[in-house]
Amino acid sequence: MKLIKLYTVIFFLLLSLSIKADEIKLNKNTEFNIYTGMFDFSDDKKSSSLIGIQHQNEDLNRDTFLGNLSPITGALITADNAAYIYTGIQAQYKLGSLNITPSFAPGYYNVGNGKDLGHVLEFKSEVQLSLDLSKNSQVGFSYNHLSNASLGDKNPGANSYMFNFLQKF
């Protein structure tokens, strides 16, 4: 119950920041995605809550035959002190106020006291669905899978879901 209260406070705090950011005229070329959720929810023994942040610079977006692509960089940490730092690429597709954002990002994984994924190099495949709250903010849900592509002796993988708040600055 404490976790739900914490998530609610964080959500409304970020929402109030979104309203204030709309009042301030900035370049709006940087987007931050703050997220929280459950790391490896499909493993009852090693699931853990997580929190993370991701950055995207819209000046680096490129329209390609695959859609609008841009680089991303981010990090997450679990309640078990496992950490993942990554950089990669995402595509963006808009359907009215609905945004579909698949991404791929290799990164460094530190097991901490969390689940041993078998290697320090892990690959994150993710899909995010988000809705526009205003011109400069979105709220969404994402699902990702971490895997080492059998680089290590074992490759158990981890499936995670997150609730996202995205804000352009």
pLDDT computed for residue 24 by the predictor:
42
pLDDT computed for residue 16 by the predictor:
57
Structure tokens at 120: 């320090």
Q: What is the pTM of this model?
A: 0.81
pLDDT computed for residue 45 by the predictor:
83
CATH code of the domain in which 129 resides: 2.40.160.20
- What is the number of domains present in the chain? 1
Note down the domain range covering 123.
Answer: 2-168
pLDDT computed for residue 147 by the predictor:
96
To the nearest 5 percent, what fractions of the chain are helix, strand and coil?
15, 55, 30
In order along its 169 residues, the chain shows pLDDT tens digits of 555 555 555 555 555 555 444 444 445 578 999 999 999 998 888 899 999 999 998 778 888 888 889 999 999 999 999 999 999 999 999 999 999 999 999 999 999 999 999 999 999 999 999 999 998 999 999 999 999 999 999 999 999 999 999 998 8
DSSP for 65-116, written as a single string: TTEEEEEEEEEEEETT--EEEEEEEEEEEEETTEEEEEEEEEEEEE-TTS--
Per-residue CA distances from 169 to 11, 18, 45, 164 (Å): 17, 9, 39, 16
What's at 116, amino acid-wise?
A: D
- Per the CB < 8 A criterion, the answer to whether 138 and 166 are in contact is yes
The Cα–Cα gap between 26 and 3 comes to 33
